[in-house]
Homo-oligomer: A and B are copies of this chain.
Amino acid sequence: MAQQTGTSSGHPIAVLNVRTLPLPILPTPPNNPPKQQDIVPRLPSQSPLLFAAKKEKNISFETLAQALGREEVAVAAIFYGQAQASPEDVTNLARVLGLSEEVLLATELTHFPDRGRQMEMPPKEPLVYRLFEIVQNYGYAYKAVMNEKFGDGIMSAISFSTKVEREEDEKGVWCKITLRGKW
């Protein structure tokens, strides 16, 4: 069956930006080495592979999430090496992305993730900074409300699920993030 390509929103899909310029294209600066944004060295070996296939096939995280039966953010986290893929995830990823399972198993996809290397804090990326700013400004408000609801303790940031939804009303477009963690 034909794979759904592109996003349902009409926006382009997210890619990793790792493809470097083939040298023959621009003959003049001969010593010009391939350039990469510096997120790449912070990612495990499967990330460029998965993103390259995602770009090749023009598949969104929405489509991948349906194929894997997981939330979109969780699938994106697998792409960035922040979550461990199960054997079923590997089978599904191989099928949807047109990669061999053997190749995927040779990467760190099923290893214990070495989390937290992806990003410098405070984040410089404006979109991610806004999430950081929420923690900075509302951190104690969350704590106070949580303590009243749950007593002393913490919400797990490891065994938790999260999703992003799009809502639209007369005031415009809204982005809704839901976090759900074990207390």
Contact = CB atoms under 8 A, between A and B. Distances in A.
Interface in A41-55: 41-45, 47-49, 52-53
Copies held by the complex: 10
- Interface residue tally of chain A, by bracket? 35 or more
Contact of A145 (B49, B72, B106, B172): B72
Contacts of A167: 180
B36 A30 contact: no
Interface of A: 7, 9, 11-15, 17-23, 25-26, 28-45, 47-49, 52-53, 56, 60-62, 72-74, 76-77, 79-82, 84, 100, 103, 106-108, 110-119, 121-160, 162, 164, 166-167, 171-183
29 contacts: A7-B149, A11-B150, A12-B151, A14-B145, A19-B32, A22-B31, A29-B48, A72-B145, A76-B138, A76-B140, A76-B144, A116-B129, A117-B125, A118-B140, A119-B139, A126-B158, A128-B140, A129-B129, A130-B154, A130-B181, A131-B135, A137-B157, A145-B164, A153-B158, A155-B177, A171-B182, A174-B181, A175-B180, A177-B180
